Structure 1
């Protein structure tokens, strides 16, 4: 189908924090007819996320922070429990997640394993998220974490894997990347 798509125009609707574009394109549909469509696409760049785990202690490190979109969509506190994540900027996914891990959690990790590449909301967001797992030990703790960007107020949570799974099943963890990585850890039995 990609050979049957022609972008006719791209209009930047919002150039602020990230870019919101209105794209008009034409394509050949399944009935072999030419259609013109318009869609809005939010371009926030690509990102990476990681589930930090300690096999011996059977714990994971998660973060908790305020998320405005969740607040305006009914999450009364606006707080979400998530894996550590951030935008690639100019880094590779691996370098990004090492940087974000140290900034957000205080852990300086070296070895990361990529487990997924996923579009989180492909109907409107262009972002690909690179998802990793990585082992941590208390010796890797180099700082407090909590974030370095303006407005970041991140709580670092070290909890048992069983508690994280309970929170996910109870709907206390609602972030898709976190759910995917916790389920990956369970399916791959990384704590056994």
Structure 2
């Protein structure tokens, strides 16, 4: 059912390459009751999942680093971004998808992950919901070096940081990825590595 404050929705496909980009026109009723025409572009790349791996015994976390063209395009000199393990759901449920990503990207095989929350990361133009998780790991869980899937052109570096160092990297600007900041702050607020 359509909300009472939006009507006359029309979508025009602008691009269907990496994901889909639509131009959407609609009439919106504002808080004063006035109807006004609106135009937006909506980018749909599917929903995703992200996870922060942590080791309680060593008080460490696993983060990844990879080239992200949008950050380079927006002034990040190297385009490299330090972030939590993440990926699109494709045709999987969030938990199955993130366990697959953990193994592909980090080389760890984990059977348990803990759901934290679901968030829209850029709701002004992107449809994506990101399902956020945390998961404990040990040295015994490491199966491979990770690094991503070669056929998907992934070239992912895997880093293990002391939690205190990773948390400080937020303040120094070395970590600028929102989902990573949120999950590091979640660990801090919950006292999981205290």
TM-score (norm 1): 0.97
Q: Name the structure 2 match of 1:44.
A: 45
> Which one of 141, 153, 156 corresponds to residue 155 of structure 2?
153
**1:87 to partner: Cα distance:** 0.2
What CA RMSD, in Å, does the superposition of the two structures yield over aligned residues? 1.1
What is the distance in 2 between the residues matched to 1:117 and 1:7?
29
Partner SS state of residue 173, structure 2:
coil
Which stretches in structure 2 are left out of the alignment for 5+ residues? none
Which stretches in structure 1 are left out of the alignment for 5+ residues? none
Q: Name the structure 1 match of 2:169.
A: 167
| 1:38-187 correspondence runs (5 A) | 38-148=39-149, 149-187=151-189
**1:27 to partner: Cα distance:** 2.1
Q: Deviations over 1:20-74 (max 9, x none)?
A: 1101111221121221111001001000000000000000000000000111111
**1:3 to partner: Cα distance:** 2.7
**1:7 to partner: Cα distance:** 4.4
Equivalenced residues, count? 192
**1:2 to partner: Cα distance:** 2.8
TM-score (norm 2): 0.96
Partner SS state of residue 4, structure 2:
helix
**1:100 to partner: Cα distance:** 0.3
Q: Name the structure 1 match of 2:21.
A: 20
**1:167 to partner: Cα distance:** 1.0
Q: Deviations over 1:115-136 (max 9, x none)?
A: 1110000000000000000000
